Amino acid sequence: RYGSHAGDGLADQCVPLDVADGSGESTLGTGVEASSASGDDSSDAATGFTSSPPPDPVCGNGAAERGEACDGGDLSGSSCFDLGHDSGTLGCLDDCSFDVSGCGDCGNAVVDGDELCDGAPPPEQSCAGFGWFAGTLACARDCNGIDESGCTNCGNAVVDPGELCDGPMLGISCAELGFVEQGEVPSCADDCNVDTSGCGMPVCGVDATQPLVDCPPTCSSCENGECLFDCTGTSECDDLAIVCPAGWPCRVVCSGSSACNGASVVCPEFFACEVACDGSSACSDLALGCSVTGRCSMSCDVGSSSVCDDATVDCGGDVCNVACADGEPSFDCGPSCECVACTDAN
């Protein structure tokens, strides 16, 4: 307690009280009476202040407390990844322990977490359902979708991008593809690539045994082991450029007295271009591509003497496609296109 000493001139000022400690000695007290310890309360003998232990955790109050892994939306900063899973959303159970049912482990053949596919796609799904003709679906490597890379349109009798053929290759000979005839014809393999196993490899040279790379510089191409020449004389062929893939020949670019300066024919693997133009047509700027049949497609103007106008396959009333006969569906344009009558420009 604090009080004043009368007559000492310190009225109304607090001074420490002398407190007998029971031993006959007096001590200066702080004026703070220590309460006796009872229950769970404890006191600090030095300061005289009391303290209480923390309250017991309450599961369900939305706060992860001592002894709880989580509580409601409070996950203590943890995630599926922290618990050893690949993906997904971690949750909390009613007993304040982690709920890992929303976590995923890609590759365990079980669609868990936020995965869309794991192991194999559902049996009711197929390549056809994704717009393909055939093939096998798979799960994406990250389990987040369907992998369509195993699907194909091969077998639908339509030459789609990436295919060299699809269905029977009627009327195509080994010679048209730059090979030597051996009594068999090329065929379309199951993967829509051309099967030339029944054809012989081309050779070029005087004795028909030299490889193509050993042909004389003036030899532009070879067919059935015979070296072919595009032009006569040096003046016409100075600028002639023929580009062929390694091992495969291009056919004759021009015939007769055609002017061939600058003419260029580029053939994809396995296919040879036919004669670019006939007669005395000027083909200096002509560049033809090859169709899957190995025949070059040219356009002609009906009723016109133009032969190699733009070398573009068109479908309509004023052009026709030499790949099909008059009145028959065009190979390049599809069954809805009918070829019209052409002049001798074919």
* Per-residue pLDDT tens over the stretch 188-227: 998 888 888 888 765 554 444 444 444 445 455 555 444 4
Beta bridge partners of 26: 20
DSSP codes of every residue in 106-137: TTSSS--TT-S-SSS--TT--TGGGT-SEE--
> Is the distance from CB of 255 to CB of 248 less than 8 angstroms?
no
Q: pLDDT grade, residue 321 (50/70/90)? A: very low
Eight-state DSSP code of residue 212: G
Closest to 287 in 3D by CA, of 323, 311, 313, 258: 311
The residue to which tokens 């400690």 are assigned: 21
> Is the distance from CB of 273 to CB of 296 less than 8 angstroms?
yes
Alpha-carbon span 145 to 29, nearest angstrom: 79
Residue 63 in this model has a pLDDT that exceeds 50: yes
Per-residue pLDDT tens over the stretch 82-135? 888 877 889 999 999 999 888 888 888 888 888 889 889 999 999 999 999 988
Q: Which residue has the higher pLDDT, 313 or 238?
A: 313
> Is the distance from CB of 240 to CB of 217 less than 8 angstroms?
no
Per-residue pLDDT tens over the stretch 244-303? 333 333 333 333 322 222 233 333 333 333 333 333 222 222 333 332 222 233 333 333
Burial code (b: 16+ CB inside 10 Å, e: under 16) for 35-55 equals eeeeeeeeeeeeeeeeeeeee
Alpha-carbon span 92 to 102, nearest angstrom: 10
Number of C-beta neighbours around residue 230 at 10 A:
22
Give the 3-state secondary structure of residue 265: strand
Eight-state DSSP code of residue 328: S
> Is the distance from CB of 276 to CB of 308 less than 8 angstroms?
yes
The domains of the chain are located at 60-114
The residue to which tokens 């009080």 are assigned: 3
Alpha-carbon span 159 to 137, nearest angstrom: 22
Give the 3-state secondary structure of residue 248: coil
Distance set, CA 96 to CA 57, 73, 112, 267 (Å): 11, 10, 22, 71
Alpha-carbon span 293 to 323, nearest angstrom: 9
Q: Is the pTM of this model over 0.85?
A: no
